[in-house]
């Protein structure tokens, strides 16, 4: 790199961004650790970290975030805000921001509109969205088990009806 005519490579050498004695695996490990450390250092991500500590395989928990690095910062922020239950739900607006007095979810009007209530607890959504999500997961599990053991399957499973086809 030092002998390169390319300006970008000269700058990399000047800043010593790559160490010649460092293997590709070592560099990758270093970069993954740096991303993880950066993410853990963000104040808004603290609640999620506390919630998962000791309950999950933390290495696999990070994998989606640090492996590809293809998410836009806005998308990553939205996903992490949802994990931290920090989305601007009616409950947050009423109880934290004090910009509203109504914290109840508009569909059921029984419980506060929280991230947890929206993704897993609402009795109104349970009959539609949760059931559909459950059925899609069950369909994929069934399809993969059939494929693994050589049973007849179709080539494409989208959660709808499955037409039998010998694979």
In whole angstroms, what is the distance from residue 143 CA to residue 156 CA? 9
In whole angstroms, what is the distance from residue 33 CA to residue 155 CA? 39
**What one-character DSSP code corresponds to residue 128?**
I
Residues whose CB falls within 8 Å of the CB of residue 35, separated by 6 or more in sequence, listed in order: 65, 66, 69
**What one-character DSSP code corresponds to residue 127?**
I
List pLDDT tens digits, range 15-72. Answer: 766 666 777 788 778 877 887 777 777 655 566 666 677 887 877 776 666 666 677 8
In whole angstroms, what is the distance from residue 167 CA to residue 152 CA? 6
Mean pLDDT of 67-87: 76
The pTM is what?
0.44
């Amino acid at each position: 790199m030092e002998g390169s005519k390319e300006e970008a490579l000269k700058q990399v050498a000047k800043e010593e961004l790559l160490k010649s004695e460092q293997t590709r695996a070592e560099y990758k490990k270093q970069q993954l650790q740096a991303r993880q450390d950066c993410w853990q250092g963000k104040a808004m991500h603290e609640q999620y970290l506390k919630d998962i500590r000791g309950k999950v395989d933390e290495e696999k928990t990070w994998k989606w975030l640090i492996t590809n690095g293809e998410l836009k910062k806005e998308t990553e922020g939205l996903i992490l805000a949802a994990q931290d239950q920090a989305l601007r739900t009616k409950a947050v607006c009423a109880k934290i921001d004090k910009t509203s007095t109504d914290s109840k979810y508009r569909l059921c009007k029984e419980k506060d509109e929280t991230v947890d209530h929206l993704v897993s607890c609402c009795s109104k959504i349970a009959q539609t969205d949760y059931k559909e999500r459950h059925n899609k997961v069950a369909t994929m599990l069934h399809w993969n088990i059939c494929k693994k053991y050589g049973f007849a399957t179709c080539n494409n499973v989208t959660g709808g009806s499955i037409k039998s086809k010998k694979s």
